[in-house]
Structure 1
Amino acid sequence: MPSKTNTPLATSVDVTNQSDDWTLFEVTVTNTLTTALDAETCTLEVEADEAVIATFKSAWVTLEMEAIPSVSGTTLTITLQAEDAPVFIDPGDTFVIGFDFETGDLTADDLTCTAWVDEGQGEVPGMDTPSTRGALSVGTDGRLKGEDDLDIQLLGISSHGYTWYGDFLNPHTMGQIPSVFNGNLVRVAMYTATDDNMGYLDFTDGGQDNLRDEIKARVQEAIDADLYVIIDWHLLYDFTYGFQPFPSRDFSGTVEMGPEEWKSHAIDFFQDMAETYQDTPNVLFEICNEPNYSTPENSPESPLYTWEDMKETAEEIISAIRDTGAQNVILVGTPEWCQRLDQVIEAPISGQDNIMYALHFYAKEHLPEPGQHVFNMFLAAMAEGLPVFVTEFGTTMASGNGGVSQGDTEGWLSALNDNMVSYANWSLSNKAEDSAALATTAEADTWGEDDLSTSGETIAGLFKDKPSGSKLMQAV
């Protein structure tokens, strides 16, 4: 066990029942720290006359934990052990430790009670960053882990399309993400095809090389700021623009690029990134943002890709990354705007480590309530222990407009926090839409808290209010 420090927690002692030959005490313990604490790091020490301590009978706690007592001379020491998942106490919250002695007529003045936390818990911990938590992995429980093999939660913000709003990814912004949003993550969203020919696949080889260099420069800025960073191959409606990502689909329009060529570009891109960042703990790879199909008129009977359609291609991209020796966490998109986790549950990728599956939601449209389609997908994934990472969410409707719903956003983030699921908000831009985190007047190199939009203010507030520890509760 870690050594103890003089970092006390507030206590109050009451006699709650007694008779001529026994006395029951309850000690209310308050978390006076500015961060959540793991209740297992708490210790209660009770000092009294040796004759009193010798009559100790039993101890308990008003948490889903076991109170473990030990007696030595004039001291009763009570530590706590979780029965199942760890129990976290938010700042200002209380719990009660009770104990009794086979001695009557005792008062609170007969005892001296002191509660404290383990070494390191008495200080406000630093943010979970690559320099403090190191390289990431995915545990057998489906949770993201730091290099210490303990759970870690990333939260931050995604850029909008890099070729449109890439100027908002710069050293100034990388410094603002932790200070304004309390974030430790940035997502670099690089569209692969767009209606104005500004996606990666729209460019010639020379243009692709230039874009790669720019992406690497932005990643380095994130590394310099001690952030985790997602490199996002932002597939969306590639098929609409003539690029066919996956086989097994007939298409009535003009195909500019078939699935083999599309896959070869993805593999080439990610092998380059993997070779560059395989020893860099900051970097995660998102290999297919939203593997949608196109529009119903292009394939009336089945307009949307299924997991079966895309799984083999995803596996080939993953294998190509792993062939470089890189073990970075890989985030895999899921069907229908990254919502159909149920299809993945039935046939997850096997034989590969450090794989997580993307879930996307827009809080005002995809309500955080049981019975709602997307939230049901999330609940099912948590019940099955599927590794999930919310690589994109919004405070608005899926269109990016329709106003901001703080209550629904808070409901979603509460569920994610309780399950230690990481998330990135869409989007870090000054685009004239409600989901943008910045006002349209914000400047890329100078923006601050005064430049936040309604969505940005909502996210900043919720991120800052998030307990630094998670209750680690399973969704029900």
Structure 2
Amino acid sequence: MYRSRSRFTRDRRWQIAAVAGVAVVVAGVGLGVASADAAVPTVNCPQVKIGVAVPAQQQADVQRNLELLNTQITEANARLKSTVGQGGPQFIQNAILGPLKDKRIATINRIETAIGRNAAKPDLNAEGLAPCTLNQGGGASPQQNTAPPATATSAPAAAGGGDGLPTVDCPDVTIGVAVPAQQQADVQRNLELLQTQIAEANARIRSTVGQGGPQFIQNAILGPLKDKRFATINRIETAIGRNAAKPDLNAEGLAPCTLNEAGGATAEPTTAAPTTAAPTTEAPAQPGADAPAGSPVEVNGQLSVCGVQLCNEAGTAIQLRGMSSHGLQFFPNCVNAGSLSALRNDWKADFIRLSMYVQEGGLETDPTGFTNKVNGLVDQATELGLYVVVDFHILTPGDPNVNLGLAKTFFQNVTAKHADNNNVIYEIANEPNGVSWDGIKNYADQVIPVIRANSPDSVVLVGTRGFSSLGLTDGSDEKEILADPVDFKNIMYTFHFYAASHGADRRAVVARAAKELPLFVSEFGTQTFTGDGNNDFTSTDAWLDLLKANKISYGMWSLSDGRETNSAFKQGTCAGTNFNGAGVLTESGRYIRSRILTGVGNPN
């Protein structure tokens, strides 16, 4: 869980870090720097003033977010102290002030949204108040005033459309063909989604008055709206094409919208049920109809989150069982058509998790090449009828906001390529660490809309605090998530465990959390959190029995042939072409194959 995934063990890294730490301490004593705390800069953030009365129903929410602004300042100052001497000239800006700005924008936006639930939504100037500067000479940081804002005596009516603000004007999408009865609901849902997208765009125009330059509305609102509409119209075409000739609805021509500069009501797209095609003798389309017969995707189809569980297209709660790759850059030959075929046919597994490391020689070194590799592997898994978890594998640094721009680009490209797939799950942050839940949620709030623009129905996995431990590693637990959940549909929260290190105490928390949170174990191991050491199959059995009882999906680390005990394949296997049978597997590999095949883990 905390380990390095490189070929050097984390223990080795700790030893190096410890030696470096001693050297710094000795140097500090020699130079008399122990009293130099005042020289460490501190952050200086502008006050956020609530210039409107706050509805009584939203007082607590606004108060909590005002206090959160102070927590963010405290965390930034602590990071300034703990990273003295690290990085280049832009380190503080990129690693501390930049993420702090993003967190403040999200928090101020939440204050605006909270007030707007029962009153006119204010513009608190999030863009202007989010950036913080440095007190280069140190000293105390100015604190956000958290005194309770004035309470509104009654909630004013929300402003209507006659306020002179522009509104979007989108062409109607007309279904000029008969829609097969089996696809009526899907087409209807997407027609209604077009209307939702227009409403969201108009709301964004209202909430961003005065922001940006002359191209702001085009770049920040109309451009993304065009992309969403294009994907939605394509889905309508694809849905009809499952049981009839696929129509061309002119997505390119109908996706762009213009502005009603004078405001007024927006013309809404038609959402009446389109004409139904005459009955045919064809069998109705089944879940995953394009997937190979008997494959996981053919059996279960489009996944969704229902309550606290993962459900198939029929609305039945299911458990997926599969494997996680190691870093695609570390073991490039271990995930291919042969090993994926073995997972589906020899193991009867349901999914493969593709671990796309961001650092450590991963995505950041060749974004185009690695994105293409992920897309190619998704295609191979799709042909076999496997589900795929696309894992944006952040680990060091542990704050996902550091890689926010790269994450947006990566997920935009991958979701665009697989917009019509019903088998792809997106994991947006592998193991966040050294970051608060608020910081993780801020990241999720910005990345998930990128995914939703192309893949509005996909399941998204959100990493949790303390190396995806539900915060347990940091002394917290699931309650911080329950108090401030990610506000999107089809969201699940990840939990990782390593059976030789994590036992009954953590299982008790997972059993409790599973009653209130949708959980997905996207990574676990049978050994210690280093990814190496002796396997503890007794503890693993207890964990997997718990997950089975609660229908929590799991994937084991890792589909690789390294020297560590987490590798499922024996060393040298990936240089060949045979991935079938127990003979190519290590002790942990034999255990998990047996568990997936029979329900009983057998390492022999």
Q: TM-score, normalised by structure 1?
A: 0.61
> Residue type matched to 1:461 in 2?
S
Which residue in 2 is equivalent to 1:464?
597
Which residue in 1 is equivalent to 2:313?
147
Aligned residue among 337, 354, 361 for 1:171: 337
Q: Distance in 1 between matches of 2:313 and 2:372?
A: 29
- Structure 1 unaligned spans of 5+: 1-125, 247-258, 293-303, 468-476
Structure with greater helix share of residues: 2
How many residues are aligned here?
A: 299
Q: Distance in 2 between matches of 1:289 and 1:377?
A: 20
Task: Quote the offset at 1:191 in angstroms.
Answer: 0.4
Contact 1:339-1:377 at 8 Å conserved across structures: no
> Residue type matched to 2:462 in 1?
V
Q: Distance in 2 between matches of 1:406 and 1:181?
A: 19
Which residue in 1 is equivalent to 2:390?
231
Aligned residue among 365, 382, 390 for 2:501: 365
SS in 1 for 2:515: helix
Aligned residue among 373, 377, 387 for 2:509: 377
Does structure 1 residue 221 correspond to structure 2 residue 380? yes
Q: Distance in 2 between matches of 1:443 and 1:134?
A: 31
Task: Quote the offset at 1:166 in angstroms.
Answer: 2.3
Which residue in 2 is equivalent to 1:134?
301
> CA offsets per residue over residues 231-253 of structure 1, 9 Å max, x none?
100001126xxxx633xxxxxxx
Task: Quote the offset at 1:128 in angstroms.
Answer: 6.2
Q: Distance in 1 between matches of 2:305 and 2:426?
A: 14
Q: Distance in 1 between matches of 2:331 and 2:372?
A: 16
SS in 2 for 1:166: coil
Contact 1:356-1:388 at 8 Å conserved across structures: yes
Aligned residue among 232, 245, 251 for 2:400: 245
> CA offsets per residue over residues 11-59 of structure 1, 9 Å max, x none?
xxxxxxxxxxxxxxxxxxxxxxxxxxxxxxxxxxxxxxxxxxxxxxxxx
Task: Quote the offset at 1:173 in angstroms.
Answer: 0.7
Aligned residue among 345, 359, 372 for 1:193: 359
Task: Quote the offset at 1:288 in angstroms.
Answer: 0.4
> Residue type matched to 1:134 in 2?
G
Task: Quote the offset at 1:325 in angstroms.
Answer: 4.7
SS in 1 for 2:329: helix
> CA offsets per residue over residues 291-326 of structure 1, 9 Å max, x none?
11xxxxxxxxxxx21211221111110122112353
Aligned residue among 399, 405, 430 for 1:264: 405
Structure with greater strand share of residues: 1
Contact 2:349-2:596 at 8 Å conserved across structures: yes
Does structure 1 residue 387 correspond to structure 2 residue 387? no
Aligned residue among 463, 473, 485 for 1:348: 485
Q: Distance in 2 between matches of 1:279 and 1:360?
A: 30
Alpha-carbon RMSD: 1.7
> Residue type matched to 1:154 in 2?
L
The 1:169–1:355 alpha-carbon spacing in structure 2 relative to 1, beyond 3 Å, is same
Q: Distance in 2 between matches of 1:245 and 1:382?
A: 25
Q: Distance in 2 between matches of 1:182 and 1:216?
A: 23
Q: Distance in 1 between matches of 2:543 and 2:510?
A: 10
Contact 1:128-1:152 at 8 Å conserved across structures: no
SS in 1 for 2:574: coil
Which residue in 2 is equivalent to 1:323?
453
Higher mean C-alpha deviation, range 375-384 or range 405-414:
375-384
Task: Quote the offset at 1:127 in angstroms.
Answer: 5.8
> Residue type matched to 2:481 in 1?
V
> CA offsets per residue over residues 335-377 of structure 1, 9 Å max, x none?
1110025132222112x1110000000111111x2xx1x3233
Q: TM-score, normalised by structure 2?
A: 0.48
- Structure 2 unaligned spans of 5+: 1-292, 471-476
SS in 2 for 1:400: coil
In the TM superposition, structure 1's runs of 4+ consecutive aligned residues that sit over 3 Å from their partners are none
Contact 2:431-2:466 at 8 Å conserved across structures: yes
Contact 1:165-1:429 at 8 Å conserved across structures: yes
Which residue in 1 is equivalent to 2:546?
415
